[in-house]
Chains A and B, each alone.
Chain A
Amino acid sequence: MNNNIIAPENLVYQKSSLVKDNVMHYCPGCNHGTVHRMIAEVIEEMGMQDNTLCACPVGCAVFLYKYIDVDTVESAHGRAPAIATAMKRLHPDKLVFTYQGDGDLSAIGAGETLHACNRGENIAIIFINNAIYGMTGGQMSPSTLEGMKTSTCPYGRDVALNGYPMKIANVLAELEGTCYVTRQSVHTAAAVRKTKKAIRKAFENSMAGKGTSIVEIVAACNAGWKMSPHEAHLWLEENMFPFYQLGDIKDK
């Protein structure tokens, strides 16, 4: 029976042609792969493959250039918005976006991010918030939740010692230069579709020259959180969403 269905004319969904055939180095179940696929699909649908420039971060997504078939520049840690600023100013007709994690964007790169957004550079920032430094072994990041255990706060984050978790997207939404700030997730198929729409809107804003767009994606780091991928998604729903509420924060 299946042999009749599996035929090229019946194909309804497959990975985008912009996702290369290399096997991704991410841990099984990592949300980075899902977001990479959505970015590739949006670029393919917009027909912008030859006109896209990406500033890669430092973090797990450091090898993004191996997985998405667009022109990329590898930035120093946290400096992706500065690189993207230069690329967009020199090539205003190109689609320029950065792909950053929470350690990259809200810790070491907080200055670059704030000022790129304050200047209203016409770039899109894809921000993966998994509340942890995934690549280096699960250390505490600025967005780690209160009481959450990581390798550098094994008894849970103590706000008296480590400060409060930072909602950087809300901070950036206060700036005049940003035009679109949204918080999405990729823990269910419906959420993945919504995230894809948000990425599309951010990219269109970048091309229309409206200002900086930020798509924050609340993601799971199952290896860093020491859980199975499915358990990590349940933990995400239970603990992350009450603090990092999903939805559009700013849309002008």
Chain B
Amino acid sequence: MDTGRYAKLFLSESRENLSEINNALLDLERGGSDTAIARLFRAVHTMKGMGAAMGYTSVAELSHELETLLDKVRNGTLVVTRPIIDTLFSGVDALEQAVDLATGPAPQQLDVKEIIARIQTASSEEAPQTFTSEFAIAGVDKKGPAASEPSTPSAQKTSRHIRIDAKRLDTLMNVVGELVIARDRIAKIAEQMGDEALLEATRRASEILATLQNEIMTSRMVPVWQVFERFPRVVRDTARALGKDVDFKIEGREIELDRSMLDEMGEPVLHLLRNSLDHGIETPDAREKADKPRMATLTLTAERDRATVLIRVTDDGRGIDQARVLPRAKKLGLVDQNTTKLTEQELVAIISRPGFSTSEKVTEISGRGVGFDIVATRVRALGGSLEVHTDAGLGTSVSMRLPLTIAISRALLARVDKEVYAIPLTHVLETFSLSQPMLLQSKGRQVVAIRDDLFTAIWLRERVGLPPAASAASGQVVLIELAERRAALIVDEFIGQQEIVVKQFDGVSGSKTLFSGATILGDGSPALIVDASSLL
């Protein structure tokens, strides 16, 4: 039991050390100084100690070899060359794998023989000239202690921070979420009773609760760099693989976001960065022909805007060429035939269509689009929105606007038979009462006619395995939308809207796909949250 707890601690500390190693390596690669080597050495040494203490032999042995190599670099017997840097990067990757394997659900030790042999070979290469190494020894010895001092200022300050398991904060947030639900219920009862004193007391409790909620929300905020700091390495590797020259900048790394939101953000941001590198940014030669600097600039920015956070990926690449997207969009019937210029909203709508973006031809000519729908879907699921600005030839900027938290959201509560399900409001466009004339057949399937449009009819009853209602044409319709796809979800009755706290549960295969989580209703019973993406 205890080793499990230490394993978690080990994992979180390793993550910090590994990203420190990666960043120091990037510094070293950019011609970085002895400070970078000192940082590297310290972090690797820490990993070695922690690995050995936990009995993770692969981590300890690998760290040991890296340390030996770094030691030679530090005392100047080894000169930093391209192959040495590459070996170090590979070593760190293996170290990361070893950590993941050792702390995974079925702990095992990574086979590190091969990589260790590689490190040993690299480390046994002698410095080309004794003259150089002597010189280096002299230089490093002087700078060594001085260089390591400024990088440990945190140790000198008396820290007023404490380390808390993120789960505790999650629990607190959940409990507050439930208080919010309970408050709604009390408020409703107080209103029905019409008791002035009770109403007043309820209002006061509401105010205090709002403060509490705000405080806990704030304590869960973490700076974006915690996720962003792994990107420089990914950008470097991708750019190298694509033969592109890129200056990657991160701005606003201290901007804070709710932990749960930040966890979800990593992947979409990575997608956008890869998109920029792959399709937006030109090769150095192509850039030169276009009168641009050979080195492209890729910027990742975080910015706070009122109650939202903007995360933006900007490149100075070739941009999205409207003249080429437009005919394609017309052909697919996505825009009116007379359209001459797409607005930016229209452009976003078009390129985030799954069918559009996966089309190879369009990807090739538009220079963008692969996986864009994935980003759009994720951002939408988080209750955010996507904005794209592009200038043909000059670059593209994609912004994700996100709420500060996803812990509490609003949902529509709907009943089918005796069961209640929650439908997240982020996916609800409109609601209607169902009547017989609205139900039609089109191309062999049942559709619901709303105004001039037809939407595929989905009976929630059927999806959750209940027998059909006595009358197919009774009930309520929820028009749901996800990444430009829409459908009419039919339920028996609406119960109302509620702030819900999303909780995870242990599903089993077959039951997992339909629901994105569960929440607790005002009467204390659990209700499942319908995952709109599984319906469409």
A pairs with B: no
A residues with a Cβ closer than 8 A to B are: none
